[in-house]
Amino acid sequence: MSYKEMETKNSATAFHQKCDNKGPTVTVLYNQQDSVYEEYASSNWTSSTGAYITDSNAFLYQLKYSGSDTLTKFSYLETLIKDIVSFKHSGKLGLSDVRILMLGPVGTGKSSFYNTINSVFKGRISQSAPCGVAINGITIAYTPYEVNVSSGESLKFRLCDTRGLEVTQSLDIFECNYLLDGNIPDYFQFNPVAPIIPDNPLFVHQPKCTEKIHCVLFVIDAATIGDIPQKMVDKMQNFQKLINLKGIPKAVLLAKVDLACQDVASNINNVFTSKKIEAAVDKASNVLGLPRNRILPVKNYENEMELDDNISILALLSLRQLLFYAEDYLQVLSIKMKALEKGSDQE
Ligand SMILES: Nc1nc2c(ncn2[C@@H]2O[C@H](COP(=O)(O)OP(=O)(O)O)[C@@H](O)[C@H]2O)c(=O)[nH]1
Ligand SMILES: [Mg+2]
């Protein structure tokens, strides 16, 4: 045995001192509700900050739940799926779903990310969102895609797909603002030369909280991140300022990691050790002014005929993170709204 919690005071540091770089480990966790979990990891524990490791051989066993023996085995993939299926946003704001808005240049992999997530929950490769390569992009409408589990029940989030960003065409900053505020109706087809205005009969003047955006995901192509034209960088940075003003959380999906690094193309697990991906993460973090742990690398399903656990794990890790960001934002929002209501009661 490398480590026993009761014997040490500073547990996290002591745990890493004793367990890092020891090869495969088995960890047994007991909680106060008399539940017991056992986790097997085939990869080393490490202390490097902010680094995820994918380990498709990892398993989580539930040995006991609330005092009763269970012996249930979950793979890492199943654990992530379980977390996402059981995700429930704070009920206080009367939301039906959390909305994640995908923004980014044409062809970076926005629609493919939805297809990737949808494929995992469908249990097969699915391409319901049209994707591919065309001069002004394939996606022309604002589409808040939902994801269903096999029972048909829909999960509590929407991945909102949009027209790709172009330097001189719509989407412009006003449309970005309307999207964030829920003024643009679902399935609205953007006109690249005539941005939507409040006089448009389709404009939603009094959107519900559930129609607004609760997290923004900039989608960037890892292979071409060094070649983004300065005008596009400026456009995204302007959008970002607006998002910051509204306090909406943001992250970057660094897609196409397989095209940015040959080692990753041959084994997706190399994504966390590849120097090329590390450089792309640094670049994305600089361009969009976000900490490195907000840059989420993925490889979308694109030429695969079958699901691959390692590709699915990477995509779900990103999605789970986005749901956490949205949940944190909604908690702050509900506290703010409560304080405002109190203030107006006292006037
Ligand atoms: N190799 C690779 N190709 C990808 C990936 N994601 C998307 N693609 C391809 O890139 C092209 C554009 O993707 P799409 O999702 O339509 O981009 P969008 O315009 O941002 O929605 C399509 O041909 C996809 O198959 C990825 O992670 N790896
Ligand atoms: Mg698209």
Residues of the chain above pLDDT 90, percent: 63
The DSSP result for 77-96, as a single string, is: HHHHHHHHHT----GGG--S
For the chain, how many residues are written?
Answer: 347
Q: Which CATH superfamily is domain 84-340 in?
A: P-loop containing nucleotide triphosphate hydrolases (3.40.50.300)
Q: Is the pLDDT of residue 49 over 60?
A: no
Nearest to 309 by CA among 24, 53, 75, 26: 75
Q: Taking the model in full, what pTM does it have? A: 0.84
Across the beta sheet with 59-65, the strand order is 25-30, 36-41, 59-65, 68-75
Q: Ligand 1: which residues within 6 Å by Cβ?
A: 104, 106-112, 131-133, 137-139, 164, 219, 255-256, 258-259, 299-300, 302
Band the pLDDT of 41: cuts 50, 70, 90: confident
**Ligand 1 atom, smallest distance to 131 CA:** 16
- Residue ID of nearest Cα to ligand 1 atom 16: 131
Residues around ligand 2, an ion, CB closer than 5 A: 110-111, 139
β-pairing, 25-30 vs 36-41, is antiparallel
pLDDT > 70 in the chain, percent: 93
Which residues of the chain form beta strands (DSSP E)? 25-30, 36-41, 59-65, 68-75, 98-103, 143-148, 154-161, 215-221, 250-255, 295-297
Q: What angle do CA 20, 23, 25 make, to 5 degrees?
A: 85
Once rounded to an integer, what is the mean pLDDT over residues 100-126? 96
User: Which ligand has an atom closest to residue 139 CA?
Assistant: 2
pLDDT band at 44 (very low <50, low <70, confident <90, very high): confident
Q: Which residue has the higher pLDDT, 22 or 12?
A: 22
Q: Which of 112, 169, 220 to mutate to test the pocket of ligand 1 (most atoms within 8 A of CB)?
A: 112
For the CA of 300, the nearest atom of ligand 1: 27
CA of 222 to the centre of ligand 2 (A): 16
- Residue 126 has a pLDDT of 94
Q: What average pLDDT is seen over the chain?
A: 89
Please give the number of the atom of ligand 1 that sits closest to the Cα of 116. 6
Mean pLDDT for the stretch of residues 281-287: 96
pLDDT, one tens digit per residue, over 226-279 is: 999 999 999 999 999 999 999 999 999 999 999 999 999 999 999 999 999 999
Answer whether 152's CB lies under 8 Å from 337's CB.
Answer: no
DSSP character at residue 165 = B
Which amino acid residue places its CA nearest to atom 8 of ligand 1? 109
> What pLDDT was estimated at residue 38?
80
- Please name which of 181, 189, 240 lies closest in space to residue 211, comparing C-alpha atoms: 181
Res 9: pLDDT: 59
Cα angle vertex 315, ends 131, 210, to 5°? 75
Ligand 2 centroid distance, CA of 79 (Å): 29
Q: How many whole angstroms from its chain centre is CA 8?
A: 36
Residue 113 Cα to ligand 1 midpoint, Å, equals: 8
Domain boundaries of the chain, sorted by first residue: 5-45+52-75, 84-340
Nearest residue CA, atom 7 of ligand 1? 109
| DSSP β-bridge partners for residue 29 | 37
- Which pLDDT score is estimated for 8? 56
Residue nearest to atom 28 of ligand 1 (CA): 256
Do 87 and 321 touch, CB atoms closer than 8 A? no
